[in-house]
Chain A
Amino acid sequence: MDYGRTELTDRLAAEYVAGTLRGAARRRFESLLPAHPLLREATRAWQDRLIPLTMVIAPVQPSGEVWRRISDRIEGERNEAKAARSAWQRLAFWRALTAFASVAAIGLAVLLANPRAVPPPVVVVLAATGAAPGALPAGSIVASISGDGATLVTRPLRETKTISSGIYVFFIHMLTGCSLGNVNSMPWFRGIERRYISPTSRSRSVRATSISTRCAPVAVMNSRNSAATAAPRPIVRATRRMTSRAAHE
């Protein structure tokens, strides 16, 4: 039925208020009221028209029992609401305590079982931008994070000439509160995010080691060929996720 049509809306509202709309039609009308402003408006207008006609009905006093029952129910509901509120407060306390206990238990469990939890080793191939698609470019390196998560190792994928003449700049981002211990056995300066790594370094690889096992260094290094763009992010656990960039200088 199209309740949007004004004439029909008006007729239905009239029958609803007059009381002749019955059964399923009445229930449907009532269920539609909240969502149909037009229907509500028409109903209100008809109530204003018809309901005052009831003023001619002689009042009849209900028994005092009715008010006592109403009063009891209202009081009962109030007490229930109060009880529910205090129960909720008690519940909230226990919930807070439980939450705290859970966190504490997890913390303890981690501490007991896992001072050296072994995170999955992460290996990321970092490709130089501008390389031909499908081919591993000369500047590509492999970055991997050691099993204890404390050390990042990068190695050139291929021994090439270009790598020996390039200067690499590492942008190593650490989580707040984490800092690198050393890179290639050299102390990493606190607060400094980048460091020139000489390609002539003996190992040809870069080892960045974090001070703490809770902090993993995440470096994304790119080749000298171009600036790093959209470098892949190492897949590490959420707590160890850090963004790093490398750019050529």
Chain B
Amino acid sequence: MVKSAADWTERSLDLSRLLARSGLGDRAAFATLYERTSSHLYAVVLRINRDRAQAEDILQEVYVNVWRAARSFDAAQSQPLTWLTSIARNRAIDSLRRVQTQPQLQTPGSTAGAADSEDEDVYDTVADASPGPLDLLSRASDARALDECMTRLSALQRQSVALAFFRGLSHAEVAAQLRQPLGTVKSWVRRALMTLKSCLQGASEREQVRDADARDVRS
């Protein structure tokens, strides 16, 4: 499990190489890439689409697309793990749209059913007792030194952005889940995102200052 932003970057360096070789048609490199990233991508997808069979289909689509698009990956522009996770997230979010437009079979525990009855435990289909989105957000803020920023947000604001981001809920779904007006939820999510942005910018500036100070001390 990746614990910090530094780990993320470190893993990315390794993955860049594998992705570049996959782009040249190296199947062994692609297999290694799959081995090292699939459990993360699967977990991300599973958070959004909790149907295991569907999540596996999504994962399959993601990697087939990655194999085709590996050549176009630009390591100078983005980190591989960010790139891969974004592709997986987008696929997963798109799959929710398809589920909604498909005729729904009302079987208990299925995604379609869960969307209709918010009171049902949505984690029924996930085997382990995984932490909720809010818990994840607080862990993420620990890992990225965001806890200070997060305290600027109300509990409901934090929860709304966590539900949207980790579980792929739409504004309307978040509003239904939290039993809040749609407009309110929209502005919460927006504010939370903007706070996150300014916090991260502040954090990276502080880091730079710290690095500069460290250099001054050494010299």
Contacts and interface: CB of A to CB of B under 8 A. Distances in A.
B39 A44 contact: no
Contacts of A57: 40, 43-44, 47, 136, 166
Interface string A34-68: 00000000001001111111111111111101110
Contacts of B83: 47
Contacts of B136: 53, 56-57
A70 interface: yes
A62 B144 contact: no
B170 A55 contact: no
B197 interface: yes
B91 to A, nearest CB: 12
B78 interface: yes
B59 A52 contact: no
B145 interface: no
Contacts of A65: 56
Interface residues of B, number: 64
A51 B85 contact: yes
A23 B97 contact: yes
Interface string B27-64: 10011001000111011101110000001100110011
Contact of B189 (A18, A47, A52, A56): A18
A74 B55 CA distance: 19
Best-buried of A14, A18, A47, A57 by chain B (most CB within 10 Å): A57
Given A47-B82, A70-B64, A62 B166 contact: no
Contacts of A51: 81-82, 85-86, 89
A19 interface: yes
A47 B78 contact: yes
Contacts of B69: none
Contact of A74 (B27, B89, B93): B27
A44 B75 CA distance: 12
B178 interface: no
Chain A interface size, under 10 / 10 to 19 / 20 to 34 / 35 or more: 35 or more
Contacts of B197: 14, 49
B112 interface: no
A162 B68 CA distance: 80
Nearest to B63: A70
A21 to B, nearest CB: 9
Contact of B42 (A23, A49, A61, A77): A61
B165 A73 contact: no
Contacts of A18: 161, 164-165, 189, 193
A5 interface: no
Interface of B: 1-5, 7-8, 27, 30-31, 34, 38-40, 42-44, 46-48, 55-56, 59-60, 63-64, 67-68, 77-79, 81-83, 85-86, 89, 93, 97, 128, 130-131, 136-137, 139-140, 143-144, 161, 164-166, 168-171, 174, 189-190, 193-194, 196-197, 200
Interface of A: 11, 14-15, 17-20, 22-23, 26, 44, 47-63, 65-67, 69-71, 73-74, 77
